[in-house]
Amino acid sequence: MKRISKILLLIATLILALPFEICAQNIRLTGVVRGNNGERIGGVSITDLGRQRVLGITDEDGKYSVVLAPNATLSFTCMGYSEEKVKVKGRLTIDVEMKSTAREIEEITVTASLLGNVVFEPSEIEVIGNYFHLRTRFKVPKEVMALDHRLVVQPTIYNVTRRKIIYLRPVVSDGREYLLTQERMYSFDIKRDTLSPYIQESQMSRQGEIIAYHDSVYIENNRDDYRSDVFLSVEDYKKIIRIDTMTIAKGTVNPLRFFDYQLGAQDLTDSIYIPKPELALRNDKGEVHLTYLPGKAKIDESDPHNASELKKLQDRIAFLENDPDARLESMSINGISSPDGNYSKNVVLADERMKVARDRILSYISPVTREFLKVESSSKVEDWLPVVAMMKRDSLEDKASELQAIIDKYPGKLNAQFDKIRKLSYYRSLIVPKYLPELRRVEYNFGYSLYRVLKDEEIREMYEQNYTQLSRYDFYRMFLQAKDDVERETLYTQALSVYPKFMLAANNLAAMYIRQGRSDAELLKPFIKEGAPVEVLSNQIVAYLDDWRYESADSVAALMPDSETTDYIKSVTRVLNGDYKKALEQFADEGGINEVLILLAMKRNEEAWEKAQELPDDSARTLYVKAIITNRLDMVVEAINYIETALEMDPSLREIAEIDADVKDLL
């Protein structure tokens, strides 16, 4: 027996020697980590310095949520920022600012040479995707060139609609004496001549020189009217001898302007992209009522109501202490005595009852919780008005009126009121046993913080107060409650202002804009990468196509996985970006006008005409396309008939015909 006692004593000693935090209540700490310029920092490591344990890292929005001891000290570290140490001190939310350690680099402005930035464009203006190709051949008569002259030919693409000019690659032809002089002037380093990259090797014959020219330039808006102008100048060593300008191409060759495809907007609906509910901090209250023996400060342990209330109190405190998402913050204890007897004695009794209740309640709470607990206590003597109210509750109107009359006759004088009330015939038979026990009590209120998922009405209330406090999930709940697109647009925009990487908000806003016919190609750019959701990639492709940025759309389509749906999207972008051969495989199976248009883009005019004759002449667009083909095949009479009929059926096509090099001459 003595040996067993020693073992038990040893175990008890070891338990007492354990660090106190092991038995302490843990709390959940949340917050946001920002840099000193205000940006949210993701990937910040959070370490409990006391336990030398990494608790977690911040997400892409700089948010974190960790469970730890209330007296812990944390270290926040991230490459490029100085370490920040923070003492928790029982707090539930702590936002951290980290200072950048990166040195600022002076801004350097690089100005490229003019020639290095010239944008080149084609001269029979053929549109392939977003590239305008200019192909021409021009003859330089020998009379134009002398042995000591230089000819400079500067092709351009002129946007007639917007009155903007784009310069293409120039062509320079030097006479033999002129070139030799230039070489001597530059110490036989002709590369010092800024036009040297464009000097043609002279092939001047007796009839002159034939120069074949082809250049292309990237242009996003191919729906405007264009023409190609060429500026020519002949100069000697001192001056320009002659300047001339001519237009060599009008309109653009672009049969795919009639290409028909159907790509709709797509919302993100997969649950994997829907934000998960986040716990939010909320304050609540609870209360407990205890009764006491008459004239004493001792809790009536025999009262089943007291046992029930104390058990309820114990359970609530245990929940708050054991749940890391909750924390007990404050307590208020108010001891109350009934008004029977001497008022001064009752005041003392109320105070004693409060102290007894306080000690009992605090005995249920751990020392660590008490360290951060704010406790307030008070006491008072109840008056007789609650008895009046209870009598009315029990339909004792006459007795209630009699009691009220005494109170009104001696206002504020509890001793005088008691002297009269105790003489009532029903005082000992009714008031003492039934009503006075209800007045002898202790009111207990505790305030606690609890993390829980908010209800929709709470989210709406918080939104109206300050929408920047909403989590992604809160915004998502607001999206679902929006009554129309106007409200949805506001919510999406606000959500992205708080969470710029909120993909669901960005995608669904982009989809809404597509449906409304006002696509925004910038919204989804931050999310475009391999592995991005098909809905996001598809919406970005549609936005690019709506903005005539075919090369960009094709680049995004290349990121898509292969499937029946994505194969169609990829074929559309291939066609519009100029990859006709591969796309023809898809649309040849479908037949119809799209196949004809692709054949025209490939200049397979005879095949296009063979397929076109299978199409019924029931639409202005079909007749217009037949006019293009017959005009290319020099079937001029047929071409004129087709274009005239097409314009009669749909006069709006004239606006296209006036900028279409394939039919412009027919007008």
Q: Is the dihedral of CA 432, 433, 435, 440 positive or negative?
A: positive
326-337 sheet: strands from edge to edge? 280-291, 441-452, 326-337, 374-381
Residue 571 in any domain: the answer is no
For the domain that residue 226 is a member of, what is the CATH number? 2.60.40
Q: Do 161 and 219 belong to one domain?
A: yes
Q: Which of 429, 452, 475 is the last residue of a domain?
A: 452
Residue 109 in any domain: the answer is no
Q: Do 181 and 72 belong to one domain?
A: no
Q: What is the pTM of this model?
A: 0.64
- Name the residue with higher pLDDT: 350 or 626: 626
The Cα 573–Cα 544 span in angstroms is: 10
Q: Do 128 and 90 belong to one domain?
A: no
Residue 295 in any domain: the answer is yes
Q: Is the dihedral of CA 301, 304, 310, 311 positive or negative?
A: positive
Residue 636 in any domain: the answer is yes
The Cα 646–Cα 662 span in angstroms is: 14
Following DSSP, what letter does each residue of 430-458 receive, concatenated? IIIIIIHHHHSEEEEEEEEEEEEPPPHHH
For the domain that residue 333 is a member of, what is the CATH number? 3.30.1330.60
The Cα 654–Cα 61 span in angstroms is: 53
Q: Which of 234, 253, 272 is the last residue of a domain?
A: 253
Q: Do 144 and 63 belong to one domain?
A: no
Helix (H) or strand (E) holding 342: none
Q: Do 62 and 197 belong to one domain?
A: no
290-322: per-residue pLDDT in tens?
Answer: 777 777 888 888 889 888 988 988 888 888 788
Instruction: Work out the average pLDDT over 530-536.
Output: 94
- Name the residue with higher pLDDT: 404 or 439: 404
Could you list the residue range(s) of the whole structural domain that residue 617 is in? 579-667
Q: Do 119 and 94 belong to one domain?
A: no
The Cα 154–Cα 166 span in angstroms is: 10
Q: Do 233 and 120 belong to one domain?
A: yes
Confidence of residue 362 (pLDDT cuts 50, 70, 90): confident
Q: Do 194 and 244 belong to one domain?
A: yes
Strands 126-128 and 96-98: unpaired
Q: Which of 422, 452, 482 is the last residue of a domain?
A: 452
User: At which residue do the structure tokens 């990859």 appear?
Assistant: 579
Residue 259 in any domain: the answer is no
Q: Do 427 and 320 belong to one domain?
A: yes
Residue 529 in any domain: the answer is no
436-494: per-residue pLDDT in tens?
Answer: 888 877 777 777 776 677 888 888 988 999 999 899 999 999 999 999 999 999 999 99
Strands of 40-190, DSSP E:
45-48, 53-57, 63-68, 73-78, 81-87, 96-98, 126-128, 131-140, 150-159, 164-167, 171-174
Q: Do 238 and 347 belong to one domain?
A: no
Helix (H) or strand (E) holding 423: none
For the domain that residue 30 is a member of, what is the CATH number? 2.60.40.1120
The Cα 281–Cα 453 span in angstroms is: 9
The Cα 430–Cα 414 span in angstroms is: 19
Q: How far is CA 149 from CA 152, 375, 376, in A?
A: 10, 101, 103
The Cα 479–Cα 490 span in angstroms is: 10
In eight-state DSSP terms, residue 490 is: H
- Nearest by Cα to 527 from 554, 548, 508: 508
Residue 476 in any domain: the answer is no
The Cα 58–Cα 65 span in angstroms is: 8
Q: Do 437 and 306 belong to one domain?
A: yes
Residue 503 in any domain: the answer is no
Exposure pattern of 434-460 as b/e (b: 16+ CB <10 Å)? ebbbebbbbbbebebbbbeebeeeebe
Q: Do 284 and 396 belong to one domain?
A: yes
| Residues ≥6 apart with Cβ < 8 Å to 488 | 479, 482, 508, 509, 512
pLDDT greater than 70 at residue 263: yes
Q: Provide the number of structural domains found in the chain.
A: 4
583-609: per-residue pLDDT in tens?
Answer: 888 888 777 899 999 999 999 999 999
What per-residue confidence (pLDDT) applies to 564? 84
Identify residue 610 by its one-letter amino acid code: E
